[in-house]
């Protein structure tokens, strides 16, 4: 699946922190995002936002790989 040029690791962290009402520095790259408070509604909102910007990721793609590090491997041009 091709990476989206507008999505960087820093951007992913900011977007996840935003939906979790956290500071970006508090979001772990390695910890399961479900353990950090991400639920299916918030995950779907992230998928929709990133797809609108050209990402070809699906809800299932991200749900099966629940860490930011794994998402970066899927979504960014420079993981």
What is the DSSP code (8-state) at residue 24? G
Give per-residue pLDDT as tens, 2-46: 555 578 999 999 999 999 999 999 999 999 999 999 999 999 999
pLDDT band per the 50, 70, 90 thresholds, residue 79: very low
pTM, full prediction = 0.87
pLDDT of residue 50: 95
Q: Which fold has domain 9-75?
A: 1.10.1200
pLDDT of residue 39: 96
Instruction: Name all contacts of 55-61 with Cβ < 8 Å and 24+ positions apart.
Output: 55/3, 55/4, 55/7, 56/1, 56/2, 56/4, 57/1, 61/1
Are residues 73 and 5 in contact, defined by beta-carbon separation less than 8 angstroms? no
């Amino acid at each position: 699946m091709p990476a989206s040029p507008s999505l960087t690791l820093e951007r992913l962290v900011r977007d996840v922190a935003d939906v979790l009402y956290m500071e970006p520095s508090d979001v772990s790259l390695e910890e399961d995002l479900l353990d950090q408070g991400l639920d299916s509604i918030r995950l779907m909102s992230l998928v929709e936002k990133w797809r609108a910007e050209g990402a070809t990721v699906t809800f299932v793609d991200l749900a099966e790989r629940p860490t930011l590090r794994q998402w970066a491997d899927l979504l960014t041009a420079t993981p």
